[in-house]
Amino acid sequence: MAVYSLIFEPGWDKHFLKMDKSVQTMIWGKIQQQKEETKTRHLKHGIEFYVAEAGQYRIVIKIDEKEKIKTIHLAGNHKQYEKWIKSQ
């Protein structure tokens, strides 16, 4: 099983820091799971990002398979996630 390093894109936590502690804990747990090979789905065809789900929240990830690095770009609710997609 591959082990990945995690990198956090500046501003990834813009919405995360405003969430309740219990939600932050749930999302943080899901982010930590990303250190291992986990099931993620492509954000959208032709876009190089993937999305992991933590309850009703989304974590946007970019995966570098060659270097075994996962970069976290966003952790937010569905509305924040949709807005982020449109800005890409």
- Please tell me the pTM assigned to this model: 0.90
- The ranges assigned to domains in the chain are 5-86
Instruction: Tell me which of 3.30.2310.20, 3.40.50.11890, 3.30.420.340, 3.40.640.10 is the CATH number of domain 5-86.
Output: 3.30.2310.20
Look at residue 71 in the predicted model and tell me its pLDDT: 98
Tell me the pLDDT tens digit for each residue of 5-18: 999 999 999 999 99
Q: What would the mean pLDDT of 67-76 be, rounded to a whole number? A: 97
Give which of 2, 11, 51 is closest to 31, Cα–Cα: 51
Tell me the pLDDT tens digit for each residue of 25-58: 999 999 999 999 887 888 776 778 999 999 999 9
